[in-house]
Amino acid sequence: MSSEQDAESIRCLVAKVGLDGHDRGAHVVARAFRDAGFEVIYSGLHKAPEEIVQAAVQEDVDVLGISILSGAHDTLVPKIMDGLAEYGAADDTLVLVGGVIPEEDREGLKEEGVAAIFGPGTSIEETIEFVRENAPQR
Amino acid sequence: MTMDESDESLLEDLLAGEHRALARVISKIENRSPGYRDLVSELYAHTGDADVIGITGSPGAGKSTLVDKLAEEYRDRGETVGVIAIDPSSPFSGGAVLGDRIRMASTVGDMDVFVRSMSARGTLGGLSTATADAVKAMDAFGKDKIIIETVGAGQNEIDIVRTADTVAVLVPPGSGDDIQTLKAGILEIADVFVVNKADRDGADRTVQELREMVHLGEESGLGGGSGGHHGADAMSGGGDDRGDADGDDGDDEATDWTPPIVETVATKGTGVETFIDELANHRTYLVDSGTLAEKVRQRYAEEIRTLLREDVHSLLEDELAESGGIDDLAEAVRLGETDPYSIAGDVLAPVEACIENLETNADSNAE
């Protein structure tokens, strides 16, 4: 049906996980994604990894953006990745991490299955471009 | 109807209770992916067991919080819950921030509460079709209760709610003067009124105004003889015995329904049990009075109409594309060369001719 071809839209979950209580950055990203035409589900603050997994699976998101500033990424991100795998959602969900991630931790996160890490100073256009190019085709 | 292999196994997984399959099917429905119609049509055979509840009301009325508490209470009673939370989408970018999930905190980690956010991305009834189909998916999956939380845009938001068996309208305290309750629209579709944030100033007045409105509605005919009886109860009794009075009435006169008014404080969970009781009362009324059958029939009629309208619409879009596209036609109107009515007639003429042709063929075949 010709008029319905453009009904598809990129779905993202912007997630705050753990004790980190700063979500200004997550709000900015959510708004920018909205303006880029994505559908953004925002998790709210202080979510446990299993809550993020539940939301990502139920909402069937193409992209999961995890924002972490607390430094707990090495414990929290693997838990989320394991949870996604449990529901068979790890392979076709593009997982991004944003926040303060030290250089030496980045390789480990990528091995966990994180597709990209956006540190402080990343332009929002760059992030949107990355999502557009890498969001899974289903 | 035939499905391809991947859809076939998707359907099997959904019926087997796999959450990811349910999520996928809803995405297909939302995206109108190829084959989604066959998938939905297969779902129908497995539906009909869920209670569908619509929750509507103005932005900030506390819909999400109440839905959260409602889901929690249903879970405590051992029932599984599906929630469809609808949020607005941008008219400019088409994007959306779907934030209702944030309030759904009580049931976190419990996969038997399946919350799905939908944006109002469709046009021309697209959202209500997608919502109704998503309800089918959750029903077939085996959810006992399905709650649709509407976008909360305003007074005329009645379309989506037609998908629900029971409609609760949230009215926050101080939501306008008593003329608001006289207006047509959202208040007319309520099966249950909820004055949420009942601990706030003005809640009593809001309850009183709603009560007068319900009372007036009965006097004006629908309620018939029983109207005065209900009214008397409503005027003298407080919010609490109201529920009881209504429950009693439900037993001996199953022919009409008087929307009860429930007071809740969703953030604290106050009044949620009463609310659930009233939802159950309405369900009982629907079944006993035979209204449910009528409702379901009307709903299917509407679904058939909507589908046909969509199909005809896309046929016409193709037709428009053939005649040079809508932009040229609009430009011609702007330049004063023609007008929309003439164009509509011209575009439709071959279609009409076709249909007439079909009819004559059918007639001659019949003879």
pLDDT, tens digit (0-9, with 9 covering 90-100), for B180-192: 766 767 778 889 9
d(CA A39, CA A5): 17
Neighbours of B332 (CB within 10 A): 16
DSSP bridge pairs for A15: A66
When pLDDT is averaged across residues A74-93 and rounded to a whole number, the result is 94
Q: In sequence order, which residues have a C-beta less than 8 Å from that of residue B181 and are 6 or more positions away? A: B187, B209, B210, B212, B213
Check residues B106 and B21 and name the one with the higher pLDDT: B21
pLDDT averaged over chain A? 90
- Shortest distance between the Cα of B110 and any Cα of chain A, in A, equals 8
Residues of A in contact with B95 (CB under 8 A): 9, 33-40
- Map tokens 């609760």 to a residue: B168
Say which range, B182-186, B241-245, B271-275, has the weakest mean pLDDT.
B241-245
A22, two tokens: 């700063």
- Shortest distance between the Cα of B230 and any Cα of chain A, in A, equals 43
Q: What is the pLDDT of residue B229?
A: 40
ipTM score here? 0.89
d(CA B195, CA B238): 14
Residue of B nearest to A16 (CA): B102
pLDDT at A100 over 60: yes
pLDDT at B249 over 60: no
- Shortest distance between the Cα of A88 and any Cα of chain B, in A, equals 8
A20, two tokens: 């980190």
Residue of B nearest to A49 (CA): B109
- Shortest distance between the Cα of B155 and any Cα of chain A, in A, equals 25
pLDDT at B1 over 60: no
Confidence of residue B365 (pLDDT cuts 50, 70, 90): low
Say which range, A10-24, B122-136, B219-233, has the weakest mean pLDDT.
B219-233
Residues of A in contact with B123 (CB under 8 A): none
CB neighbour class for A45 (10 Å; exposed up to 12, middle 13-18, buried from 19): middle
Q: Which of A30, A34, A42 sits opposite B93 (nearest CB)?
A: A34
Check residues B193 and B235 and name the one with the higher pLDDT: B193
Contact A58 B116 (CB under 8 A): yes
pLDDT at B77 over 90: yes
pLDDT at B360 over 80: no
- Shortest distance between the Cα of A104 and any Cα of chain B, in A, equals 32
Comparing CA positions, the residue from B147, B159, B171, B164 lying closest to residue B286 is: B164
Residue of A nearest to B106 (CA): A51
Contact B314 A1 (CB under 8 A): yes
Q: What is the pLDDT of residue B26?
A: 96
What is the C-alpha radius of gyration for chain B, rounded to an integer number of angstroms? Answer: 23
Q: What is the pLDDT of residue B316?
A: 85
CB neighbour class for A1 (10 Å; exposed up to 12, middle 13-18, buried from 19): middle
pLDDT at B74 over 90: yes
To test the contact with chain B by mutation, choose from A38, A60, A132 the residue with the greatest count of B C-beta atoms within 10 A, namely A60
Say which range, B158-162, B249-253, B326-330, has the weakest mean pLDDT.
B249-253
d(CA B350, CA B199): 63
Q: Which of A2, A34, A48 sits opposite B90 (nearest CB)?
A: A34
- Map tokens 């994180």 to a residue: A114
Q: What is the pTM of this model?
A: 0.84
Residues of B in contact with A34 (CB under 8 A): 90, 93, 95-97
Contact A35 B93 (CB under 8 A): yes
Residues of A in contact with B114 (CB under 8 A): 58
To test the contact with chain B by mutation, choose from A2, A9, A47, A52 the residue with the greatest count of B C-beta atoms within 10 A, namely A9
pLDDT at B224 over 80: no
pLDDT averaged over chain B? 83
Q: What is the pLDDT of residue B242?
A: 40
Check residues B237 and B315 and name the one with the higher pLDDT: B315
Q: In sequence order, which residues have a C-beta less than 8 Å from that of residue B169 and are 6 or more positions away? A: B56, B57, B186, B187, B189, B190, B192, B193, B194
Contact A9 B116 (CB under 8 A): no
Percentage, residues of chain B above pLDDT 90: 42
